[in-house]
Amino acid sequence: MIMESTDMTEGRTGPHRNLSVPLARLGYAAALLVLLAATSGLEGYDLFLASSILSYAISAMGLNVLMGYNGQISLGHGAFFAIGAYTAAICIDRFAVPFTLTPVIAGIVGMGAGWLIGKPALRLEGVYLALATFGLAIATPTVLRSDLFAEWTGGVQGLFLGIEPAPEWMGLDLDQSIYLTVVAYFGLFAFLTLRLVQGLNGKAWIATRDNPIAARAMGFDVTRAKTRAFVFSVLACSVGGALQAVAVQFVAPDSFPFFLSIALFTAVVVGGLCSPLLGPLLGAAFIVLVPNVTEEIWQGGSWAVYGGVIIGVIAIQSRGLAGIMTGITSWVRDRITGQTTTRYERK
Amino acid sequence: MTFFLEQLIIGLSSGGIYAIMALALVMIYKSTGHVNLAQGEMAVFSTFIAWTLVQTGMPLWPAILLTVAVSFVGAIVLERVVVRPFAEADDLVVVAVFVGLFLSIHSLAGAIWNYEVKPFPSAFSDGSVSLMVDLSIRTHTLGSLVTTGAVLTAVWIFFRYTQLGLALRAAADNRESSRLVGINVSLMLALGWGLAAGIGAVAGVMIAPVTFLDPGMGLAPLIFALAGALLGGITSPFGAALGGLIVGVLEAMISAYVPYGIEFRELIALMLILSVLLVRPAGLFGEIVARRV
């Protein structure tokens, strides 16, 4: 697979550096402004959809770091998404924690669970990690449904989240306050992901993925790099889960089926591996919007679309939707400036 | 004591089905090095074919045989068209392709036969057989136990005593050398897939009367079969079959004796997978593969 964007030879060096960094920052600021402007532009269901997409995008960002940058395959991150969501629900239901803070607690709890599962699982490689996490994905719904924890989780019935809107003087309704909270966390995670991926951590992840032995020889701590990628992905997934639960204001075992883990996997692969922000965002939009359309045509239709699109993406454009977008923009730019962009490709 | 024996036989019977599924996994793993995540869905799809044949008035046994044949051919086509192009790709690509396959087969089954839960006739007569004074067992349980035994023996004889079985083993073991002695390796890989789908179909037909038939039926057996295959060693057909039986008995005992056991069966299978992979990645009977650096 060619993942040019992660090539170590490419980077923020060379003559374009002075221009490209401020330009990129300008781009991020503009994107954030668009997201903020949407608060007043969208309403009701559309705003809810936007919140959903952004919270799934946070999870996908984490999973993309794990799968794209660090090359570890997980088919079970829906479990951490569910843990985050249930933590948020229990915090609000039992301890009346303000909903804006629940993702923080969910992140801490999620990381604890991630450590418990990751500690043994990370010794596995490639397909075996995929198998173990596949088992995790299958086992999660049955655990959530169990009567054993029903007192806390509400069992099959689930829990409603009583969410208070922002104080009167801010002039926001409930949907808007939820959406703004989601945007805030999204901004935070976008920043974190970029910093991690572009820094030494990112180099360690890529080196570990491409050649663990050489990476070790060069002085990278391979185990630590893997653990960090795993913990970050778990953190992002549980925060995303908490925000999703807040947006839906309800959690039940049926909201976290086996299919959820597969959907997160789909979001990362379809959105584009190794595209730190755009890929997860497009992938999340894909998994939120596609079922809305397909489920009306036939039940389980989204499974078919996911399956077909995954195989198609893998076969044709291995960098997913983000790859297609970058392809188009660089084509347009080349037309305007009349020069071809040089690319470095791995392999 | 009778209760224990009853649970043991139920466990052996479902364990037999996991053993067949595990064998199907091993078949594909040995010949191509891939773990077929879509194995459960393929078996379910085959079972639906059998169901349709029965609905059209065909007697069950011929229907099962025809289903096995159709699954055999279907899987060869699937391997050629979908899986083969990615055979040499890295892990992530292969896993993604299998996930895609999994989703596609699942939704295709849902689209054709919808998501209503359907009863599936047992291949054996209704009623029960009494084994001891107060121990009686449903004929289906006993029948599927016997079928499992027959399938496992047949597979063993095929691999041990036939020319084709030997060629298959050779192709799985060492592709280059097999090619040099004139074995059509590409055909053998396809054959491995076909056989896996065929015996997977048998597993589906045996388990459907117990769990009823719906597109989501393949998920739980798959994780148990996976646990069984890994426990016995995913490179060893005998080990995988034994592993499947052990997992089946374990599942029955835990459901019967441990409080909340039924709800945590899948979690226990997961723990089993994790602990096997960590303590003895090759499984009980698998060969330890040394990798060149």
Whether A7 has a pLDDT exceeding 50, the answer reads: no
**B27: number of Cβ within 10 Å:** 28
Task: Name chain B contacts of A303, Cβ cutoff 8 Å.
Answer: 103-104, 106-107, 110
Count how many domains chain A has: 1
Measure in Å the smallest separation between the Cα of A182 and chain B Cα atoms.
29
Residue A14: predicted pLDDT: 45
Measure in Å the smallest separation between the Cα of B64 and chain A Cα atoms.
27
Kindly indicate the confidence band of residue B87, based on its pLDDT and cuts at 50, 70 and 90.
confident
* DSSP state letters, A215-278: HHHTT--HHHHHHHHHHHHHHHHHHHHHHHHHHHTEE-GGGS-HHHHHHHHHHHHHH-TT-SSH
| CB B244 within 8 Å of CB B228 | yes
- The encoded tokens of residue B89 equal 């790709």
Q: Which residue of A has its CA nearest to B282?
A: A128
Query: In this predicted model, which residue has the larger pLDDT, B220 or A344?
Result: B220
CB contact under 8 A, B104 and A303: yes
Of chain A, the percentage scoring pLDDT greater than 70 comes to 90
CA distances for B47 relative to B15, B42, B98, B203, angstroms:
18, 9, 20, 9
CB contact under 8 A, B89 and A1: yes
HSE-CB for B130 with a 13 A CA cutoff: 4
Q: Is A121 an 8 Å CB contact of chain B?
A: yes
Q: Which residues, 6 or more positions from B166, have their beta carbon under 8 angstroms from its beta carbon?
A: B159
Residue A251 is part of which domain span? 4-10+44-337
- The encoded tokens of residue B90 equal 């890295």
Q: Is A155 an 8 Å CB contact of chain B?
A: no
Which of A64, A66, A133, A138 to mutate to probe the B interface, most B CBs <10 Å? Answer: A138
CB contact under 8 A, A132 and B277: yes
CB contact under 8 A, B267 and A142: yes
DSSP state of A127: H
Q: Which residue of B has its CA nearest to A70?
A: B92
Residue-wise over B269-288: b if at least 16 C-beta within 10 A, else e?
bbebbbebbeeebbbbbbee
- The encoded tokens of residue A87 equal 């933590």
Measure in Å the smallest separation between the Cα of B60 and chain A Cα atoms.
29
Task: Name chain A contacts of B102, Cβ cutoff 8 Å.
Answer: 262, 307
Q: What is the largest CA-CA distance in chain B?
A: 62
Rounded to two decimals, the ipTM of the complex is 0.84
Distance CA(B164)–CA(A195), nearest Å, equals 57
Whether B138 has a pLDDT exceeding 90, the answer reads: no
- The encoded tokens of residue B179 equal 């090619």
Distance CA(A21)–CA(A199), nearest Å, equals 14
Residue of A233, A200, A204 whose CA lies nearest to A121: A233
| Cβ under 8 Å to B: A residues 238-267 | 258, 262, 265-266
Task: Name chain A contacts of B86, Cβ cutoff 8 Å.
Answer: 314-315
Query: In this predicted model, which residue has the larger pLDDT, A244 or B234?
Result: A244
What's the CATH number where A132 sits? 1.10.3470
Whether A298 has a pLDDT exceeding 80, the answer reads: no
Residue A29 lies in a domain: no
Q: Is A183 an 8 Å CB contact of chain B?
A: no
pLDDT tens for each residue of A142-188? 888 877 777 777 777 888 887 777 776 776 788 888 899 999 999 99
Say which of B97, B106, B281 has its CB closest to residue A314. B97
Tell me what the mean pLDDT of segment A264-290 comes to.
89
Q: Is A211 an 8 Å CB contact of chain B?
A: no
Kindly indicate the confidence band of residue A9, based on its pLDDT and cuts at 50, 70 and 90.
very low
Kindly indicate the confidence band of residue A55, based on its pLDDT and cuts at 50, 70 and 90.
very high
Say which of A258, A298, A300 has its CB closest to residue B219. A258
Whether A96 has a pLDDT exceeding 50, the answer reads: yes
* DSSP state letters, B56-84: TT--HHHHHHHHHHHHHHHHHHHIIIIIG
Say which of B85, B99, B267 has its CB closest to residue A315. B85
Say which of B89, B260, B269 has its CB closest to residue A148. B260
User: Could you give the 3-state DSSP secondary structure of residue A159?
Assistant: strand
Which of A128, A254, A260 to mutate to probe the B interface, most B CBs <10 Å? Answer: A128
- The encoded tokens of residue A332 equal 């347009």
Measure in Å the smallest separation between the Cα of B186 and chain A Cα atoms.
21
DSSP state of A135: H
Which of B36, B45, B84, B95 to mutate to probe the A interface, most A CBs <10 Å? Answer: B95
Residue A85 lies in a domain: yes
The CB-based long-range contact list for A197-203 (8 Å cut-off, 24+ gap) reads: A197/A65, A197/A69, A197/A276, A198/A12, A201/A225, A201/A228, A202/A6, A202/A69, A203/A8
Whether A61 has a pLDDT exceeding 90, the answer reads: yes
Residue A274 lies in a domain: yes
Say which of B34, B103, B226 has its CB closest to residue A303. B103
Residue A280: predicted pLDDT: 92
Residue A13: predicted pLDDT: 46
Whether A342 has a pLDDT exceeding 60, the answer reads: no
User: Could you give the 3-state DSSP secondary structure of residue B132?
Assistant: strand
Kindly indicate the confidence band of residue A328, based on its pLDDT and cuts at 50, 70 and 90.
confident
- The encoded tokens of residue B143 equal 């029948």
Distance CA(B256)–CA(B107), nearest Å, equals 34
Measure in Å the smallest separation between the Cα of B43 and chain A Cα atoms.
17
Distance CA(B236)–CA(B25), nearest Å, equals 11
Q: Where do we find the tokens 């052990």?
A: B246
Number of H helices, E strands in chain B: 11, 2
User: Could you give the 3-state DSSP secondary structure of residue B128?
Assistant: strand
Of chain B, the percentage scoring pLDDT greater than 70 comes to 97
- Highest average pLDDT, of A74-78, A134-138, B270-274, comes from A74-78
Q: Is A105 an 8 Å CB contact of chain B?
A: no
Residue A16 lies in a domain: no
Residue-wise over A110-147: b if at least 16 C-beta within 10 A, else e?
bbebbeebbeebbebbebbbbbbbbbbbbbbbbbbbbe
Residue B281: predicted pLDDT: 77
Residue A30 lies in a domain: no
Measure in Å the smallest separation between the Cα of B199 and chain A Cα atoms.
22
Whether A205 has a pLDDT exceeding 60, the answer reads: yes
Residue B293: predicted pLDDT: 52
Tell me what the mean pLDDT of segment A88-99 comes to.
88
Residue of A331, A340, A332, A320 whose CA lies nearest to A2: A320
User: Could you give the 3-state DSSP secondary structure of residue B93?
Assistant: helix
Q: Which residue of B has its CA nearest to A300?
A: B107
Q: Is A123 an 8 Å CB contact of chain B?
A: yes
Q: Is A2 an 8 Å CB contact of chain B?
A: no
Residue A97: exposure state from Cβ atoms within 10 A (0-12, 13-18, ≥19)? middle
Pairing of strands A250-251, B135-138: unpaired
Backbone angles phi, psi at A250, to 5 degrees: -165, 140
Pairing of strands A159-160, A250-251: antiparallel
Residue B93: predicted pLDDT: 86
Q: Which residues, 6 or more positions from A275, have their beta carbon under 8 angstroms from its beta carbon?
A: A5, A64, A68, A319, A320, A322, A323, A326
CB contact under 8 A, A314 and B230: no
Say which of B95, B226, B227 has its CB closest to residue A73. B95
Task: Name chain A contacts of B234, Cβ cutoff 8 Å.
Answer: none
Residue A15 lies in a domain: no
| CB B231 within 8 Å of CB B284 | yes
Is the dihedral angle over the CA atoms A288, A290, A295, A299 positive or is it negative? negative
Residue A32 lies in a domain: no
Task: Name chain B contacts of A214, Cβ cutoff 8 Å.
Answer: none
Q: Which residues pair with B128 in a beta bridge?
A: B138
Of chain B, the percentage scoring pLDDT greater than 90 comes to 24
Q: Which residues, 6 or more positions from B145, have their beta carbon under 8 angstroms from its beta carbon?
A: B9, B12, B13, B16
Distance CA(A217)–CA(B27), nearest Å, equals 38
CB contact under 8 A, A135 and B273: yes
pLDDT tens for each residue of B175-231? 888 899 988 888 888 888 999 999 999 999 988 888 888 888 888 888 899 899 888
> Which range, of A107-111, A135-139, A284-288, averages the lowest pLDDT?
A135-139
Q: Which residue of B has its CA nearest to A148?
A: B260
Tell me what the mean pLDDT of segment B30-42 comes to.
86
Q: How high is the mean pLDDT of chain B?
A: 86
Residue A33 lies in a domain: no
Q: Which residues, 6 or more positions from A193, have their beta carbon under 8 angstroms from its beta carbon?
A: A61, A62, A65, A236, A276, A277
